[in-house]
Amino acid sequence: MRLLPSPEQVTALADTLRACNSAASWLSEQMHIAGVVRKFDVQKRFYSELRERFGLAAQPAIRVIGKTVDAYTTLRAGLTAGNYGSPGSDQRRKVEDTPIRFRPQAGQPFDARCLSWQFGAAGRDGTVSIWTVAGRLRSVRIVGNPRHLALLRSRPAIGETDLLHRDGVWLLHAVVDSPEAPRREPVNGFLGVDLGIVNIATTSDGDRFCGSCLSRYRKRQQRIRKRLQAKKTSSARRLLKKRRRKEARFAADVNHRISKNIVAEAERTGRGIAVEELTGIRVRVRLRKPQRATLHSWAFAQLGQFLTYKAQQAGVVVVQVDPAYTSQTCHACGHVDKRNRRSQAVFQCGRCDFVGHADHNAAHNIAARGVVRWGEVMRPAAAPILAAS
């Protein structure tokens, strides 16, 4: 939802974000010094001082503590996954030795005690009442997509809501519970999905979602950024700021469309979805310098997230499998040899002379591993009985 505050309300909202993020940065530093990460322990030790030092009410102080603790939980998960390098590396040591800092205008979560919603008649916009450091702001007008407004109006309870200030616009990101479809048994096997850069996704049915359009768009955006950065003028900086999220939005739209098609096909055919587990790929893979930007701009994690939540809504099973040697293994005879992968697109088995598209062959192997993985999850003491599609 978009907020439409008056100038006085804008000042109060901006002061609130600055106060909450200053409190979060201070709390982060205290947690780092004391080595305390559990929310119960943090609240017990720093709650009173946090309120007195920054003038926060009770519930906003709790939300600041929760935000800070969640940030450290995410950081620890990234360290465990190896996203900041191996133990002992300079990058990892720097991350571990530096407390988390929050931007002055970073988003702040609110719950039902800090923010309440008032909706008008059907089809009309509503208002919100929100806590600020200057007091409670009432009847702040909101506008948004009519479908989103109808969704909020139909829910008896609205969960956590984040207040954000982005590019001069005030936004509310509200969380609502959406019912999931009952999970269906993948009686017809699994639909394997091979992820890549040239082809963003290739399914075991032979459907390929080409990445050339996205690659051309990224290269064009890179040229435009390079040209604007070289000018070093105020107008060029304004354009850079205006364009900074265009590429991310474009890539997210592509991932939404791809994941929607894959989930719809799996739901239609009564299959599950098997994808590669690519955690830590940026640390494991070593590439030449011209190829690094392409790898690091590859939004494979986002595509995996979109596949997961869309599948949950549709009741489709999603499993992650080991990606090792899927591109070097012949799905017809099981022969493994790196020479089988003749080029990026061509796969030719050295044993049975099977010839096909390399990504399509890898997707077949992923589908077969999905059957095995599902058997390990659901029937650990029995052999899998499903047949890969």
- pLDDT in single tens digits along all 389 residues of the chain: 999 999 999 999 999 999 999 999 999 999 999 999 999 999 999 999 999 999 999 999 999 999 999 999 999 998 988 888 888 899 999 999 999 999 999 999 999 999 999 887 655 678 999 999 999 999 999 998 888 888 888 888 888 899 999 888 999 999 888 777 888 889 899 999 998 878 888 999 999 888 778 778 778 888 888 888 898 899 888 888 877 788 888 888 989 999 999 999 999 999 999 998 876 655 555 556 655 555 556 677 888 889 998 999 899 999 999 888 898 999 999 999 988 888 888 999 988 989 999 999 999 999 999 998 887 666 555 444 444 44
pLDDT (0 to 100) of residue 295: 57
Are the C-beta atoms of 318 and 184 separated by less than 8 Å?
no
**What number of other Cβ atoms are within 10 A of residue 133's Cβ?**
18
171's torsion region: left (phi>0), alpha (psi -120 to 50) or beta? beta
pLDDT (0 to 100) of residue 63: 95
So where are the chain's domains?
7-109, 112-174, 190-211+246-378
pLDDT (0 to 100) of residue 30: 95
Q: How far apart are CA 258 and CA 74, in angstroms?
A: 27
pLDDT (0 to 100) of residue 306: 92
pLDDT (0 to 100) of residue 382: 44
Q: How far apart are CA 45 and CA 282, in angstroms?
A: 38
Structure tokens at 253: 């739209």
What sign results for the dihedral spanned by CA atoms 177, 182, 185, 189? Answer: negative
Q: How far apart are CA 194 and CA 299, in angstroms?
A: 14
pLDDT (0 to 100) of residue 384: 46
Q: How far apart are CA 192 and CA 186, in angstroms?
A: 13
Q: What letters, b where the CB count within 10 A reaches 16 and e where it falls short, cover 262-278?
A: bbebbbeeebbbbbbeb
Are the C-beta atoms of 131 and 114 separated by less than 8 Å?
yes
Coil/strand/helix, residue 188: coil
Q: How far apart are the first and last CA of the chain?
A: 43
**What number of other Cβ atoms are within 10 A of residue 98's Cβ?**
11
pLDDT (0 to 100) of residue 284: 56
Is the CATH code 3.30.420.10 the one for domain 190-211+246-378? yes
Q: Which helix (H) or strand (E) holds 283?
A: helix 281-284
Beta bridge partners of 194: 202
What distance separates the 2 farthest-apart alpha carbons in the chain?
A: 75
Q: How far apart are CA 253 and CA 268, in angstroms?
A: 23
Residue 163 sits at φ, ψ, to 5 deg, of -95, 125
Q: How far apart are CA 225 and CA 244, in angstroms?
A: 9
Chain Cα centroid distance, residue 15? 29
